[in-house]
Amino acid sequence: MSVETDVKTLVIDEQEVSARAGQTILEVARENEINIPTLCHLDGLSDVGACRLCLVEIKGSNKLLPACVATVQEGMEVSTNTERLQKHRRTILELLFAERNHICSVCVSNGHCELQTLGQEQGLTHIRLPYRNPELSVDASHERFTLDHNRCILCTRCVRVCSEIEGAHIWDVMGRGINSLIISDLHQDWGGSACTRCGKCVQVCPTGALFDKSKIGSDHPKYPDFLPYLNLMREAQ
Amino acid sequence: MSKLKLATVWLDGCSGCHMSFLDMDERLLELAEVVDVVYSPIVDTKEFPDEVDIALVEGAVASVDDEKKIKKIRDRSKMLIAMGDCAITGNVPSMRNPIGPEAILDRAYIQNASAQAQIPCVVVPKLLRVVRPIHEFVKVDVFLPGCPPSAGTFHTALTALVNGGPLDIPALTRFGA
């Protein structure tokens, strides 16, 4: 018995590539070493297309598509790094920096932060928008970890890893738009929640919003690479 | 060729950027061959000169005095460089923004005072409600992020700016560097 694979051929940044039907543009681009910046995407978690950093242009369409959720089509011509996209990406990052209180110099994630690194990669040297300076709380009620809303970018990686991988689903999002907030259980203190203390949310958090209390200063690299491996092992069982 | 006139200014910051600037060490001698420092916290001039070629500004705008100074500096300088994160993002000084100046002054001068609890109001300038980066007040020509930018960053950037060479700042430094 032969298994037929539905192969699609498309062009990404003038490079001809082939893909399996159902693959996302992001997957195929990365397989071919074409870099598309992402923030809410993480290998091993479902995709939500929330941060919009991975927007790409499709020839013949005026609409920009998020590469993490858009699937490949036969004959598609994708551009991942046009001037228009670079402009949008910079603006998205500036909005994130202006929305909450990201003080890199005193952040536990300084030097290991995906937001900070992306800002540098996309050429940000200042934020053109006025800072909002919202008054936000820090939840240090958990014995091992801290949640600092000041650094949160609402990527929901913590929500997804807790629900999809750990199976505890203690994280969720409360409110709408700019008032959205990550909450544990039904907006109870993290320390008093049904948290299993596994720490996966801390490892997947791209910024200093979730951190380990035992880490001091800016000595807090994160290791989310365990996710694809864990998924693979579970599938094998 | 006459030397370029260089000024350095210290608004609401910790002076760490100036320390890092001085960390250029022997490279300062090389710089001194092409620029004259005409105004700085580390020289004795009291008044910001009329015609400055390059002004390096450390610190955020936090008081009515800072606001007055930055406008004067802009008027009198050909090139204004925002030096370090405080000047560019507000950084640590801006951490008071969500709380407001009243609460901060009360904490510092009333609650934590061991003698003569009173909020200073003579000579010292009034604080602005929020601490803001300098580009929200005046046009900034070059942004040099970092807390502080390293001596190497200063040297590379200033050399390029003095000579008119190419300068890729994001390749040199970032917020919090």
Specify whether the CB–CB gap between A171 and A201 falls below 8 A.
yes
Residue-level pLDDT at A5: 82
Q: For the purposes of burial, counting CB atoms within 10 Å of the CB of B105, is it exposed (0-12), middle (13-18) or buried (19 or more)?
A: middle
Test B91 with A105 for CB contact under 8 angstroms: yes
Is the pTM above the cut of 0.80?
yes
Domain ranges of chain A: 7-81, 100-236
User: A107: left (phi > 0), else alpha (psi -120 to 50), else beta?
Assistant: beta
**pLDDT more than 90, % of chain A:** 91
Give the percent of chain B with pLDDT over 90.
Answer: 98
Q: Are A7-81 and A100-236 the same fold in CATH?
A: no
- B89-110 residue pLDDT tens: 999 999 999 999 999 999 999 9
Whether residue A104 and residue B176 make contact (CB cut-off 8 A), yes or no, is yes
Domain A100-236 CATH assignment equals 3.90.660.10: no
Indicate the residue of B98, B135, B175 with minimum beta-carbon distance to A116: B175
Bridge partners, residue A19, by sequence:
A8
Give me the phi and psi of A77, to 5 degrees please.
-120, 110
Pick B135's closest partner by Cβ from A110, A126, A136. Answer: A126
**Per the CB < 8 Å rule, is B98 touching A124?**
no
Contact: A135, B136; criterion CB under 8 Å: no
Angle between helix axes A83-99 and A114-121 (nearest 10 degrees) is 140
Q: A7-81 adopts what CATH topology?
A: Ubiquitin-like (UB roll) (3.10.20)
- The per-residue pLDDT of chain B, averaged, comes to 96
Nearest CA to CA, how far is A202 from chain B (Å)? 21
The pLDDT value recorded for residue A219 is: 78
Cβ B144 vs Cβ B157: under 8 Å: yes
Chain B residues close to A132, C-beta within 8 Å? none
- β-strand partners of A10: A17
Residue B1: per-residue pLDDT: 64
Q: Tell me the nearest-neighbour CA distance from A233 into chain B, angstroms.
A: 38
A123-165 tens-digit pLDDT: 999 999 999 999 999 999 999 999 999 999 999 999 999 999 9
Contacts of B130 in chain A (CB under 8 A): 133
Q: Is the ipTM of this complex over 0.90?
A: yes
**Considering chain A, what percentage of its residues have pLDDT values greater than 70?**
98
- Look at the alpha carbons of A76, A80, A82, A84 in this order and tell me if their dihedral is positive or negative: positive
Beta A145-148 vs A138-139: how paired, if at all?
antiparallel
Span A20-46, pLDDT tens digits: 999 999 999 999 999 999 999 999 999
Asked whether the bond before B148 is cis by omega within 30 degrees of 0, the reply is yes
Size of interface A-B (CB pairs under 8 A): 75
Section A48-72 average pLDDT: 97
Query: Which band of pLDDT confidence, cut at 50, 70 and 90, is reported for residue A1?
Result: low
Answer yes or no: are the C-beta atoms of B133 and B97 closer than 8 Å: no
> In A, which residues are within 8 Å of B170 by CB distance?
120-121, 123-125
Q: Is the per-residue pLDDT at A2 higher than 70?
A: no
Q: Is A208 helix (H, G, I), strand (E, B) or coil?
A: coil
Closest residue in chain A to residue B136, using alpha carbons only: A130
